[in-house]
């Protein structure tokens, strides 16, 4: 166990090497799926997905355009409020474009389902989802996920871009936060 700045203890769940290996496999699958497209629009959901998005797009074997949305439903808490706030919207025209949403973690599904509804109003040619982490046991809203890095247990995790009150994003692995 490692100690986080705020005093919580961490237990490594997914190592840096496991993440890198899985990203390589995901990038092959995604590249194969989008061979038909002129340019894929990748939308990373900030802030948690920024590391995953960067590593994944560098491995894709196809032309991509990258944009970001900043959405939140956590507000520095360990549980989602269920209320989506859009802090930064995409700037790219999505009309008749192939769009891939990159998410760091899908928990209840509320945040992602609201983002999907919003982006569908922009008439993309296709809209698919790739998430690094998936918590199927917590799902309250059904969302179709095209690519999943890892299914994880119902634990609060940080690292590899994912934070707890803005801490832990810089960890190179995924860790469970063990609160006292």
The one catalytic residue in 107, 142, 146, 154 is: 107
CA distances from 76 to 25, 103, 154, 163 (A): 32, 18, 18, 9
Rounded-to-integer distance, Cα 93 and Cα 71, Å: 18
Catalytic residue status for 142: no
Nearest one of 99, 106, 108, 149 to 128, comparing CA atoms: 99
Is the distance from CB of 59 to CB of 42 less than 8 angstroms?
no
Rounded-to-integer distance, Cα 140 and Cα 162, Å: 21
Residues designated catalytic:
107
């Amino acid at each position: 166990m490692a100690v986080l700045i705020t005093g919580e203890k961490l237990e490594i769940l997914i190592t840096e090497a496991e993440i890198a290996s899985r990203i390589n496999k995901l990038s092959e699958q995604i590249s194969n799926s989008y061979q038909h497209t002129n340019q894929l629009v990748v939308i990373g959901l900030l802030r948690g997905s920024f590391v995953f998005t960067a590593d994944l797009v560098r491995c894709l074997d196809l032309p991509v355009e990258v944009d970001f949305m900043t959405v939140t439903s956590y507000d520095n808490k360990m549980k989602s409020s269920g209320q989506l706030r859009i802090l930064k919207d995409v700037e790219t025209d999505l009309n008749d474009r192939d769009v891939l949403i990159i998410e760091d973690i899908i928990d209840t599904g509320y945040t992602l389902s609201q983002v999907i509804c919003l982006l569908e109003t922009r008439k993309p040619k296709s809209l698919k989802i790739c998430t690094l982490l998936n918590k199927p046991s917590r799902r309250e809203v059904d969302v179709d996920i095209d690519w999943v890095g890892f299914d994880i247990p119902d634990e609060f995790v940080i690292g590899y871009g994912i934070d707890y009150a803005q801490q832990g994003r810089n960890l190179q692995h995924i860790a469970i936060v063990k609160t006292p």
